[in-house]
Amino acid sequence: MNSIICETAGTDPKLFICGPTASGKSALALEMARKLGGEIVNADAFQLYRGLEIVSAAPSDDERALVPHHLYGVLEPTESADAQLYVKLAKPLIAEIQSRGKTPIITGGSGLYLKFLTHGAAPLPTADAALRAELDARPLEKLVAQLQQLDPVEASRTALQNRRFVSRALEICILSGQKASDLRDGWEKQTAGISSNLRGIVIQRTREDLHARIALRTKAMLDGGALEEVAAMSAISSNCEKAIGFREIRSLLAGEIDRATCEELINAATRQYAKRQETWFRREKWLEPRVVDAKV
């Protein structure tokens, strides 16, 4: 971590703190911000939303009082957000923080948001409504089989249980006539110079430790007002609704499941999400691993 601190004091002083959910990113970001005279910039897709602070595990008011925090609770639950909107919000803010001689500490686990911010969007074909409708009408297992046939490399690094990811990878293959993995890897090579100028940490914990932290956080969330938070929300955007815990808590409030089932469903979904995040961040070779002891 000392090398990161020294290197961050260079010509482009900003630091990225990444890692899977519940790994301790917010605490480390706070520590680094206080050491570097920094200000924290959110890079979590769901912490952008107002009224979702407990479900999204946003920093507490006490934590936010210690150093300036930015891009937390800036969107209404009814608004849609994507990586392009995030970059539009984050880039000028980061530049403004740097103009004041402060160090932006960008922290979050939304890999695509971070990738768009650091490297920009890869030159991939845009979505095709007709093709997407055709793919949406087919069973997921058939989409997976086709992706494995057309592009086994991309299939091996795609969350195959996620229809949206599988459909997008297939869409790229079909529309471009090339393998999605070749296009994405080519973009990585083209942007290698960008990566060499980036400084960041990815938190790594043992699977057992991370799962234990996830379970503790889920219990604290359910005990700490998440039910009331979800109950207070009426109309929300489709991507806001994807926050882990939101649908499960709605089912609990509707009497469809009990508290124990709700808790286990949230834990399982969070563990799966953390695994996908770990896979994503392993590909980002510019991130310096920071192995954290279970006691931390």
82: which residues sit within 8 A by CB, 6+ positions away?
A: 239
Looking at 143, 170, 188, which one is the last position of a domain?
188
276: which residues sit within 8 A by CB, 6+ positions away?
A: 159, 162
Q: Which of 136, 134, 133, 155 is nearest to 144 (CA)?
A: 155
Domain that holds residue 160: 129-188
Same domain membership, residue 184 and residue 45 = no
Contact yes or no for 122/184 (Cβ under 8 A): yes
Same domain membership, residue 30 and residue 101 = yes
pLDDT tens string 264-278: 999 999 999 999 899
Contact yes or no for 201/16 (Cβ under 8 A): yes
Distance CA 111, CA 118 (A): 10
Distance CA 111, CA 99 (A): 26
Looking at 162, 188, 214, which one is the last position of a domain?
188
Q: How many domains does the chain have?
A: 2
Q: What is the mean pLDDT of residues 50-66?
A: 95
Same domain membership, residue 284 and residue 182 = no
In a 10 Å sphere around its CB, with 0-12 CB exposed, 13-18 middle and 19+ buried, how is residue 221 labelled? buried
Per-residue pLDDT at 293: 77
Same domain membership, residue 261 and residue 150 = no
pLDDT tens string 211-251: 999 999 999 999 999 999 999 998 899 888 999 999 999 99
Give the CATH number for residue 168.
1.10.20.140
Same domain membership, residue 284 and residue 199 = yes
Distance CA 76, CA 216 (A): 28
Q: In what order do the strands lie in the sheet with 38-42?
A: 69-70, 38-42, 103-107, 15-18, 200-204, 287-291
Looking at 145, 169, 188, which one is the last position of a domain?
188
pLDDT tens string 113-166: 999 999 988 888 988 889 999 999 999 999 999 999 999 999 998 888 888 889
